[in-house]
Amino acid sequence: MKIEILGTGCPKCKKTKETIEKVLKQTGVEAEVIKVEDIEKIMSYGVMVTPAVVIDGEVKLAGKVPDEKDVRKWMI
């Protein structure tokens, strides 16, 4: 599983990364977590607001920090 966190480094982007890493640790799911800060790459996903979460090429969320419950759903 490849998880990309799209954002320029704002506090919400950092919180998103922390939340995802926490859930990965709790569930034991193996995933590659990549922080994407390049605006052109972010826009290539059609994302106009950050933070955003992309899992295996699919945008799961944009414009807010996910809660742990949402992240767990994506891991299944």
Report the catalytic residues. Answer: 10, 13
Instruction: In whole angstroms, give the CA distance from residue 76 to residue 64.
Output: 21
Decide: 54 and 4 in contact? Cβ < 8 Å.
yes
